[in-house]
Amino acid sequence: MRTPRPSTVAFAGVAVAFLLGAAASAHHSRAGYDNTPDKLVTQNGVVSNVLWRNPHVFVIWDVKDSNGSVAKWTGEFSSPTTMISEGMSRDTFKPGDPITVTFMPAKAGTPYGLVIKIVRPGGKVVVDLSQRRNLLEQ
């Protein structure tokens, strides 16, 4: 019986390590968000952009403060495939759409968050991920 050559074994080991490392780094935790239930933020705003790409879908909305200044906020969703299964599509949001967004804010204090729920004027819920246990737990 012939034993594998050391270079073949080494190559196979490096290939497996590379593949496992890539898979492990492809998903990140929710550690960057404040998932304390009483820390969820709800804002009224207007959609300015939607980025529908892997690994996440993003919605960017504008919020006016009491002085009339506009702040841009970015909300992260899950992957496009997951959001399709939640009933969203590339056409769900368009620039100019008024929305009410509930999100888990970034711990860093940046205008960024993990979207939990979006409602249109009149109360029509577009997406509600609040029942997904893994979203609100770490």
**Which domains, and CATH codes, for the chain?**
37-136 (2.40.50.140)
**Using a CB cutoff of 8 Å and minimum separation of 24, what contacts does 127-131 make?**
127/77, 127/83, 127/86, 127/87, 127/88, 127/92, 129/78, 129/86, 130/102
State the average pLDDT for the chain: 82
Taking residue 99's Cβ as centre, other Cβ atoms within 10 Å add up to 18
- The reported pTM is 0.74
| Confidence band, pLDDT 50/70/90 cuts, at residue 7 | low
Mind listing the pLDDT tens digit for each residue in 70-116?
A: 999 999 999 999 999 999 999 999 999 999 999 999 999 899 999 99
Please name every residue paired with 113 in a beta bridge, in sequence order, or none if there are none: 75, 105
